[in-house]
Amino acid sequence: MKYLGKSTMMASALALTTSAAFAQEATGDIPPVTLFKNVMVFDGVNDGLKDVDVLVVGNKIHKIDADIPEGGKWEVDVRTGGSKRLPDPVGGIDGYSFTVQTERGIETKEVDVTVIDGDGRTLMPGLIDSHVHVNMYKNGTIPGLQDTTWEEIGARAAAFAQEMLAMGFTTVRDMCGAHGGLRAVIDEGSLPGPRIYSSGACLSQTGGHGDWGIAGQRKNESNLERLEITRLVDGPAEVLQGARRNFALGANYLKIMVSGGVTSIKDPIYQSAFTNEEISAAVEVAGDMDSYVAMHVFMDSDLSRALDLGVKVVDHGLTITEPTMQKLVEKEAFFSPNLTALAPEALEHPMHQDPTFPPTAKFLWLRENSKQLMDLVKKYKPKMVFDSDYVLLTGVPYRQSMDFTKAFVAREFGNLWALQMMTSNGGELAALTGRGNPYPEGKLGVIEEGAYADILIVDGNPLEDISAIGAVDTWFDAPPRGQDVPSIRMIMKDGVIYKNTLES
């Protein structure tokens, strides 16, 4: 509720308190129509802004053209998506007509168009964060999550979903523990939140990065295993079973842990995790589902062998060497390196102020062994996605971290590349889920005809000033903000407006 702004349309006033489904139902079988006028469009791919109008029909971008008329008689076939302008009848008709299939056959119905005047602002795709943890939205430590009930985790995930949408993220990729539940609640319209792609329980070997049980707990005894947020699997047979169960519970792809990690306690960072046979078992199950495997990895040798075994997405990968970067690009794998770990400001992270804290030592080792990364990325330009990967952080520190992450990738790679990571590249990665894609009808992360209507209107031009999307170039000493990001004036997801502070 906090970020519901002034609205220029009735459906948007309903959006946060009721549902997309309700808004749809209120207009019967005719989808809502929104026409964005007086906007400069960043399409998620190309440099520069285009002075065009954008017509949204239902949950899709229907037409992009210079000066789309607000009235006149247009016939839109909602089954095929085709449209044509009809001659104005005597006396004139405002609005659009739709050809719809009813029980009585094909009928033409008229509908009002909601016109939104962007007043020269930038219209762009909704943002995509390709590495989040909806089920770890809590302050503390990973062992501290052992004390969390499903009720608290679910409520926190709901809070997280609203937080992300308010920041302009209309799609996220969850990388450990979300199955299909939260997505179902959001997609039915009961909860404002982004689209969610989920890995299901992350798959880890005993003593690996996903083994978060406290000392003395055996396999299957820890809270996060019982809640199926993480899953310990040893040997190809258990990998097969665990991976299949993930898909059965609503996962869209798989995440495996092939190196040690920073936040976990039992695994050294240099740990080489999972045998080739175990990795291949996961790749086979994902292939059977027409989807892919993503890996948590830090060590170059593990990254290299897992690419050879068919893993398609590299998360972290900070110690990558030049030959492995070449291989990554050749295999057209996606790179999701969690770059803020390398920001000078990361040393000020509150978690890293205690040198006796085990994750701090791992973190410092990684920084020391990742000095080549930025140069390799700039040289080989792998397909990169935006990945925040914050865990165990909520509220103001979480917002500061997210705002800084937006700014840091732009600082390193320029605004266009950063924006592509946050939009079209994230959309391409989403489509890697193949026939199991929960959103298969259109592209994500782009402004083009036929794409899903996930749209932001922001103050200023983000290609020139990344603060237009709420980026802040300082981290923990940034001024605290509330949930609302004021420069993001309008947020539409799936054709439904969740925020609108544009003047009517």
What residues have CB less than 8 Å from 351, skipping those under 6 apart?
357, 359, 360
As measured in angstroms, the least distance from the Cβ of 171 to Zn ion is 17
CB–CB of 33/57 below 8 Å?
A: yes
Nearer to Zn ion, 337 or 445 (CB): 337
436, 438, 441, 442 alpha-carbon torsion, rounded to 10°: -110
Nearer to Zn ion, 175 or 488 (CB): 175
Using CB atoms, what's the residue nearest to Zn ion? Answer: 389
CB–CB of 454/492 below 8 Å?
A: yes
What residues have CB less than 8 Å from 45, skipping those under 6 apart?
420, 423, 424, 446
CB–CB of 176/228 below 8 Å?
A: no
Nearer to Zn ion, 389 or 494 (CB): 389
CB–CB of 467/460 below 8 Å?
A: yes
Q: From residue 310, how far is each of 276, 285, 307, 325 by CA, in Å?
A: 11, 12, 5, 15
As measured in angstroms, the least distance from the Cβ of 202 to Zn ion is 8
Nearer to Zn ion, 175 or 343 (CB): 175
How many chain residues interact with Zn ion (CB under 5 A)? 2
As measured in angstroms, the least distance from the Cβ of 75 to Zn ion is 48
What are the backbone angles phi and psi of residue 350, rounded to the nearest 5°?
Answer: -55, -35
Nearer to Zn ion, 56 or 393 (CB): 393
Instruction: Give the Cα separation of 89 and 92 in Å (integer).
Output: 5
Nearer to Zn ion, 392 or 416 (CB): 392
Instruction: Give the Cα separation of 222 and 193 in Å (integer).
Output: 29
Nearer to Zn ion, 177 or 189 (CB): 177
Nearer to Zn ion, 174 or 459 (CB): 174
DSSP secondary structure of 149-206: -HHHHHHHHHHHHHHHHHTTEEEEEE-SS--SHHHHHHHTTSS---EEEE--SEEE-T
Residues in contact with Zn ion, shown as a per-residue x/- string from 387 to 416 under the rule CB under 5 A: --x---------------------------
Nearer to Zn ion, 175 or 463 (CB): 175
DSSP 71: S
Q: Which residue stretch of 61-69, 90-98, 274-282, 381-389 sits at the interface with Zn ion (rule: CB under 5 A)?
A: 381-389
Residues in contact with Zn ion, shown as a per-residue x/- string from 427 to 456 under the rule CB under 5 A: ------------------------------
As measured in angstroms, the least distance from the Cβ of 175 to Zn ion is 5
Nearer to Zn ion, 20 or 157 (CB): 157
Tell the residue number behind the tokens 């990554």, with chain if given: 328
494 binds Zn ion (CB under 5 A): no
As measured in angstroms, the least distance from the Cβ of 302 to Zn ion is 16
Residues between 136 and 175 that touch Zn ion (CB under 5 A): 175
Nearer to Zn ion, 302 or 389 (CB): 389
Tell me the residue type at 359: P
Q: Which residue stretch of 139-147, 270-278, 382-390, 467-475 sits at the interface with Zn ion (rule: CB under 5 A)?
A: 382-390
Residues in contact with Zn ion, shown as a per-residue x/- string from 171 to 200 under the rule CB under 5 A: ----x-------------------------
Q: Which is nearest to 193 in space by CA: 134, 271, 115?
A: 134
As measured in angstroms, the least distance from the Cβ of 50 to Zn ion is 36
Q: From residue 303, how far is each of 17, 259, 294, 298, 321 by CA, in Å?
A: 45, 9, 11, 7, 10
- The CB-side HSE value for 500 (13 A sphere, CA atoms) comes to 27
3-state SS assignment for residue 32? coil
As measured in angstroms, the least distance from the Cβ of 8 to Zn ion is 38
As measured in angstroms, the least distance from the Cβ of 131 to Zn ion is 6
Tokens of 142: 């990973």
User: Which residues contact Zn ion by CB under 5 A?
Assistant: 175, 389
